Structure 1
Amino acid sequence: MAGFRAANRYAKGLMLFALEANQTDLVYAEMNEVKNVIKNSDDLRIFLNSPILDAKIKEATLMQIFASFSKTSQTFISLVVKQGRENMLSKIAEQFITIYDIMNNIVTAEISSAVELDQPTIDKIVAKAKEGLDANAQVKVINKIDTSLIGGFVLKVGNTQIDSSIKTKLASLKKQFLNKDYIPKY
């Protein structure tokens, strides 16, 4: 919990810094990249979590990795490393993205399906999901593949989940058979 609070505070600070520099969209894109780079690199995560390595080495390495970033993001990353919070950089980026999404009325819709969905299908699912949202809300779609679903999809929007997967329907049928709900009662 303490890690979350610290990450949230740093993310709020970065948001204020980005607003002041009028670079929120740019910093948002860069924090998405930070999150993805750290998420996809085990070596970088180990490097950032190492208590043995000096902060100057970590800072220099991160500045090389993110050399194309804006001065705002580079200054912030440098500050995080100097404060000894480089192991939280991914969490800070995630919190910044969350704050940005809230400020810009962006809702994340996560669609899990057994196979890759084509764009018209995704558009239909998102259109249905938008019916319960604010008219001005923008929907950011994350499409995940989960072969265990067998067929259908699971849609998560905020705190709402719509499960239309074959896996769930089969589990429901199994439960009915085990409870013997299928036996007619005359």
Structure 2
Amino acid sequence: MTVQGVEFLPDSRRDWQDSPAARRRHAVTEANLTRHLDGPQRVLDAAGGTGHDAVRLALRGHDVTVLDPAGAMLTAAMACADDHGVADRVHVVQAMAEDAPELFGPHDFDVVLCHNLLQFAEDRVGLLRALTAPLREGGLLSVVGPASGALFVCPASDVLDDLRAAGAEVLAHYGVDVQSGHPLSYFQIIARNV
């Protein structure tokens, strides 16, 4: 499936992914998530784009499916996985995150990543319910979003309420890229599917 308007990989997105700030944020969110993982997991990376999170997790032995509507992003994700020798542990599916319940079974994943997506959703609780549909009971949901300084901001307190409304139990809340004098900061929330 190709979704109109998202079949490209803009140079600005590619440049940002390679920036020190992006690498630092990926490393911090991975470290936060890893605190809650035990052994290899089946991971769904919703709106996973170019696969930076997916490849990092695959290098740790996890089996990761990148779900994204943009074919160019998925092509870049598979190239990145191939470059790092983990193409056998990274899979791609071209579709919207809201399509997850129709694409996957109810216990297909142990972990779902919702990184930099929720702030764009018109129905955040609906999106969270769609993403927890293929998540096993007790599985983890990692949500990352901008806390301030961005055009689309989704306050962490609202996300905590949204997660509870979607039937998830919040386990941890982290600040990511919180720097003095820096206009943009991010949060990460780890929740359990109940």
Relative to total residues, which structure has the larger strand share, 1 or 2?
2
Higher relative contact order (CA 8 A, sep 6+): 1
TM-score category, normalised to shorter length: under 0.3
Could you say which structure has the larger radius of gyration?
A: 1
Q: TM-score, normalised by structure 2?
A: 0.24
